[in-house]
Amino acid sequence: MAANVPTVKLNSGYDLPQIGYGTFGGADAPHLVHDAAKVALKEGYRHFDTAYLYKTERSLGDAIRGSGVPREEVFVTTKLWQTFKRPEHVRPACERSLQDLGFEYIDMYMFHWPMAWEFHGYDHEQIQVKDENNDIKCIDVPIIDTWREMEKLVKDGLVRSIGVSNFTIPMLEDLISKAEIPPAMNQIEIHPSLPQEEMVNWAKDHNIALTAYSPLGNPGFSWFASTGHSKTLEEPAVLKAAEKYGKTPVQVLINWGVARGYCVIPKSVTPERIKANIEYFKMDPEDVEEITKIGREHPVRTCDPVLMFGPSNDVFGEHKKKD
C-alpha cells in the first residue's frame, strides 16, 4: 500500500509523491540498493530516483519488478549524463537506461547537469574522463538541441515526463522560451543551509516542480569541518522542531521540504530509517520559517560542480564571483 504522503501535480499531468527514495551512492553495493528498495516499496514508497551515473538502475528495476507493486503505481526518475548531450547520443543513452531498469518507459528523464562533455563511449569508465589538469572541459552543445531529442522520447512513448537538474532560473527561462514541451521538473540541491528561496518561488509561479537532492545537507561530508559551518542536522532550529514534534532531526528536514511544496529524496539502506523517512507530518509555518532562516544570509552548497568536475564547470557562476 502506498504511503499517505502529499503529491505534486506535474505540468505533464502526472502525480508525484513528495517523499521519494534516492539511490545515489549505491554503485559499490548493488545488492544493498536492491534490498533497500524492496523495503522502501513495502513501506509505501512510490517515488524512486536513480541515474545512469549511479549504476543503480538495474538493482532498482529488479526490486520494483519483483515487488508485486504494479509498474504504473511507481514513479521512477533517471538522468541523462553530460557525455550523452549530443543529439545522436540521447536516444541510445535512454534505451540503455530502459534496458537496465527493465521497463518499457521511464516516468521522468532529465538532464543530470546543464553542461555537455565530449563523448567517449557508454561504459561507466568513460563518462568522467578528466584531463591532466583534473578538469573536464565543456563542449558547445546547445541545451535546446538535446532537449529536442528528449521531446521525441516523450512523443515516441519511451518517456512520460522530461525535466532538468541543477538548472538556474536564467537557464530555465531560456529553455522554456524555445521548448515545445516545458520541463516538468528541476532537481536541485536544497536543504536549510541552501534554502533556494528564489528558485522555490519562481518554480511555483511557472508550474515547474522541484525535487530536493541532498535534503539533509550531506551530513556525511567532512567538507563542513573545513568551512566552519555546522551540520544542518545539528542546527538549533532543527533540534527545537524535532523536540516539539517528537520526531528526529532527519524527519524534520524531510517534512520541512514537503511543507515548502517540493519533493524530497532522502536515501538510506537501513530498514528502520527507510520506514522513518516516509513518515509525513504537518509543520507549523513559523517552524518552517525558522529553519529556512538558517541558510538565508550565508548559503552553503555541498555539491559544487567545480570541485567535482573541474574549473570549466562553473555553471552557477559562484567561483567567478569569488575571483
pLDDT in tens, 131-164: 999 999 999 999 999 999 999 999 999 999 999 9
From residue 72, how far is each of 3, 15, 160, 264 by CA, in Å? Answer: 16, 11, 11, 21
Residue listed under C-alpha cell 532543527: 238
Phi/psi for 261 (5° steps) reads 100, 10
Give the three-class secondary structure for 43.
helix
What pLDDT was estimated at residue 224?
A: 46
Predicted TM-score (pTM) of the model is 0.95
Tens-digit pLDDT profile for residues 163-183: 999 999 999 999 999 999 999
Mean pLDDT of the chain: 94
Question: At the topology level of CATH, where does 13-322 sit?
Answer: TIM Barrel (3.20.20)
From residue 107, how far is each of 15, 24, 110, 149, 240 by CA, in Å? Answer: 11, 18, 10, 16, 38
What pLDDT was estimated at residue 319?
A: 86
From residue 197, how far is each of 52, 192, 239, 261, 280 by CA, in Å? Answer: 29, 10, 22, 12, 22
Tens-digit pLDDT profile for residues 26-60: 666 778 999 999 999 999 999 999 999 999 999 99
Tens-digit pLDDT profile for residues 11-26: 999 999 999 999 987 6
What pLDDT was estimated at residue 3?
A: 77
What number of other Cβ atoms are within 10 A of residue 182's Cβ?
17
Domain locations in the chain as residue ranges: 13-322
Tens-digit pLDDT profile for residues 215-242: 998 876 544 444 545 578 999 999 999 9
Q: Which cell numbers in the block locate residue 126?
A: 568513460
Active site residues: 54
What pLDDT was estimated at residue 21?
A: 97
List, as one string, the DSSP characters of 86-99: SHHHHHHHHHHHHH
What pLDDT was estimated at residue 242?
A: 98
What pLDDT was estimated at residue 26?
A: 65
Average pLDDT over residues 187-198: 97
